[in-house]
Amino acid sequence: MYSLSDADKALLPTDEEVAFYREHGWYLSRQIFSDEEIDTLAAEQDRYYAGHRDRKLPTRPPRIAYWEPAHGDTTRNNDYVFYESTVMARILAKPVLGAIAARLSGTDQLRLFNSALMYKPPNLKGDATVVPWHFDRHYWKTCTSNDMLTAFLPLHDCDEEMGTIVMVDGSHTWKEVGDNDTTTKHFLHRNKNELEQVLEENARFNGATVRKVPMRFKKGQVSFHHCLTYHGSGSNLSTRPRRAFSLHYQDRKNQYRPYHLSTGELLAYNHDVLCRKTPEGHPDYSDPEICPVLWEGRI
């Protein structure tokens, strides 16, 4: 299951590229997916938006991102598509993708943490398709690992005109200032200008310059970013939708930890109502139904 062809091995990041990822907090791959695989994913995306599911989540977590046609022509985000679509899961579980993520994070076991299907309509007014600055670790405070990472896969060539993902270079090394309960809120529920200010304040605190690096993709390429790397994306100014997947990965050592807000309230992640329980009664973030293993072995 976890073997690579010689062609796959040629797609792995070199030692120099791994060192780059660890210094800069992001990496842009070679072409991992074929045109046929990408076109199949795009067709499956259309089927998904039309209502097709191979299986449905056993329950709908209260904070899940889950676009439905009734929400209209807006930015679409749908979590847990890896669980709900057999075709998406088959293609996105491509061993070389997991192997690349495992090599970057330095783990000998890589598990899925979550998956999202994303769609930015073209030319919506204002900031409707802007994703403000944030880093993913804020939303994973119930996790023990700081080595988690995310893969971003557009289903076409993608650049600034389409609102590509933009990394803040080296920001994963910053010490954070101003961390509080509000950082656990999803960026869609926070003020864009406030998040821009948070980014600038953290840069100043670290004596750093905010250097924004847009990812410019050719069809089939994938970007990876560290869970502490600030990132965001601009409006889709093109004439066609921006289609993409986001895959969040966890390393072997990651597990659930109780995390209390300042109010004493226990923070919950969507997994917590979906995953099986450990003997201690905690959510099991290695549940193979929700968080399957996607790579095992040293790279």
User: What pLDDT digit, counting tens, does each position of 20-30 carry?
Assistant: 999 999 999 99
Beta 212-214 vs 165-168: how paired, if at all? Answer: antiparallel
Q: Which domain holds residue 187?
A: 6-296
163: nearest Cα among 235, 266, 250:
235
**pLDDT tens-digit map of 93-139:** 999 999 999 999 999 999 999 999 999 999 887 777 888 999 999 99
In a domain, residue 156? The reply is yes
Q: Is 146 left (phi over 0), alpha (psi -120 to 50) or beta?
A: alpha
Query: Is residue 24 in some structural domain?
Result: yes
> Would 82 be classed as within a structural domain?
yes
Task: Say if 116 falls within a structural domain.
Answer: yes
CATH of the domain at 89: 2.60.120.620
pTM recorded for the entire structure: 0.94
Q: Which residue has the tokens 């072997």?
A: 252
What is the end-to-end Cα distance of the chain in Å, rounded? 15
C-alpha 233/C-alpha 134 separation (Å) is 10
Does any domain span residue 238?
Answer: yes
What CA–CA distance (Å, rounded) separates 1 from 3? 6
* Residue type, position 43, single letter: A
Q: Decide if 215 is inside a domain.
A: yes
Report the alpha-carbon distance of residue 94 to residue 245 in Å, rounded.
Answer: 14
How far is the C-alpha of 285 from the C-alpha of 290, rounded, in Å?
A: 8
Residues 7 and 61: beta-carbon distance below 8 Å? no
Split into its structural domains, the chain has a count of 1
What is the SS3 assignment for 11? Answer: coil
* 1 occurs within a structural domain: no
Q: Is residue 231 part of a domain?
A: yes
Which pLDDT tens digits describe the chain residue by residue (299 residues)?
A: 688 999 999 999 999 999 999 999 999 999 999 999 999 999 999 999 999 999 999 999 988 999 999 999 999 999 999 999 999 999 999 999 999 999 999 999 999 999 999 999 998 877 778 889 999 999 999 999 999 999 999 999 999 999 999 999 999 999 988 766 555 555 565 567 788 898 999 999 999 999 999 999 999 999 999 999 999 999 999 999 999 999 999 999 999 999 988 888 888 899 999 999 999 999 999 999 999 999 999 88
